[in-house]
A and B are shown apart, each in its own frame.
Chain A
């Protein structure tokens, strides 16, 4: 990952993502916050591309921006008289203090540990390049059990979400009459 291109890309993406995360915290309007969340997702997808995980970057955009963000927008639409002002609760100051402490501890651990890494400008044969086909094989051979469990989880979430939002008329329709 050498060269000026990677550095420019990294710092631009870091700036955009962190600006968007700060914007979610401080923006006054809920919808603006959701759009800044989408910008964060796209920034993280850019980071995934930098880390040689292109398939995951595209999956991130498809799933997060294409589906989860749309779900959040629909939820904002379906709660019309709730507060759209994205205000803070009483726990603002303790939350921010706690978050700053947590961030400081983690940053200290990161900078202080000597990680056992490959050099960041590796020779060609050391670069761990993972193609989408390797990921597919791994998911279906080594990690088959979590894969199947994830599909069960998704089915359960699907059924649960549909059941939770049924209105009383729809439930009355399904009762045995």
Chain B
């Protein structure tokens, strides 16, 4: 599906950097042999998406920004020693990690231990190949980009399992088993939620979804808020971010699957944690928040700046949740995935399918999508409230103010909270 031309076709129009790269590749196609142009296009794509966007974002937003924001949430200053306002902190971290001794236990599996960080980095780089930064700025506009994201985000799970196993250490195996169990549990509602999105847009390609949102002048977040909630929670679980970071719970199992890693190997895992979170934010910004469009503003403001802003906005949402919520237990997490999110995703799917059938068969006008948005938002609130009530969540039992045990007349356990799971 060719995107409508928003900006001019000149190579110097920096509002759409795809013009520059395509002009360069066309002019080089006459000079170089045929295969070399592919390789050069791949190198340009890798440099532009990963080296220029992701790496600085990882360092400044992921390491520095995250620590500052979480610190502010916790009423303390973040890093403020190194450089003005602590801005050189990521560089200090990198230098520290690189000069650390990389220990390898004697009875660990060497080949796997060395291979696991590399296997963890590779899918993250691949993910940014299908994300559209602008109308012509997507490296691989495949027709199944959404499924590509889901497929590639299953690969770091295997790599984390290998990492945990190769240490020959029981705590590491605990951590990796927990991580794998959580990741595969949360994948199911995640894919079902995304299926609701695809029912509306009719295309699996991320560029196509962005253009669908542009043509109908609506963001998919207002059209399907349940899908965004499911995606957010599911992706937090896949990325091992608090409140679901039992895989590397520092107070419980030392460092989970990262126990025996030190130095830059650990640094790669930590950096790619942020990298995967950025990829998930970029994906959510494309699918839910409208991608590089902003209701017509993309004629003047470069679309890739809009997109980068939305990505970092979503990443700030991740940081906010991490600073606010405590860590959940493993049985609470599993119960939440299978008992709460899966039925919610299924009911959402039925609702969306009914709306879509109504839209197509009645040949209704496109403005009926606003009615659907309203219905979906109301239904989202009602479903979440009703289903959590059915599962036994009684908010009136939870005390809103802390009281001393003497004034409360003895210890009063909450009746509905017995049994642990949600």
Contacts and interface: CB of A to CB of B under 8 A. Distances in A.
Find out whether A and B make contact in their complex, taking CB atoms under 8 A apart as touching.
Answer: yes
Interface of A: 3-5, 8, 29, 31-32, 35, 38, 54-55, 57-59, 61-62, 65-67, 69-70, 73-74, 77, 131-133
A62 B150 contact: yes
Interface string B112-154: 1000000000000000000000000000001110011011101
A70 B180 contact: yes
A133 to B, nearest CB: 8
8 contacts: A29-B109, A54-B144, A58-B148, A58-B151, A65-B158, A74-B177, A74-B180, A132-B143
A61 B143 CA distance: 16
Interface string B35-60: 10010000000000000000000000
A59 B184 contact: no
Determine chain A's interface SS by DSSP, over half rule. Answer: helix
A125 to B, nearest CB: 19
B292 interface: no
Contacts, number: 68
Nearest to A69: B158
A131 B154 CA distance: 23
Contacts of B184: 66-67, 70
Contacts of A58: 144, 147-148, 150-151
Contacts of B144: 54-55, 57-58, 132
Contacts of A8: 35
A149 B161 CA distance: 34
Given A54-B143, A58-B144, A132-B144, A70 B158 contact: yes
Nearest to B33: A4
Interface in B179-193: 180, 184, 187, 191
A73 B35 contact: no
Interface residue SS majority, chain B: helix
A38 B116 CA distance: 14
A67 B38 CA distance: 33
Q: 5 closest Cβ contacts across the A-B interface?
A: A66-B154, A58-B147, A61-B151, A4-B35, A58-B151
Contacts of A4: 34-35
Contact of B180 (A57, A62, A73): A73
A5 B204 contact: no
Of A59, A66, A69, most buried by chain B (CB within 10 Å of CB) is A66
B155 interface: yes
A77 B157 contact: no
Given A66-B187, A67-B184, A131-B143, A3 B34 contact: yes
A5 B173 CA distance: 41
Contacts of B38: 5
A54 B142 contact: yes
A66 B191 CA distance: 13
B154 A61 contact: yes
A5 to B, nearest CB: 6
A67 B150 CA distance: 12
Nearest to A7: B35
B157 A70 contact: yes
Contacts of A133: 202
Contact of B112 (A31, A54, A59, A74): A31
A38 B155 CA distance: 10
Contacts of B143: 54, 131-132
A69 B162 CA distance: 12
Contact of B158 (A5, A38, A55, A131): A38
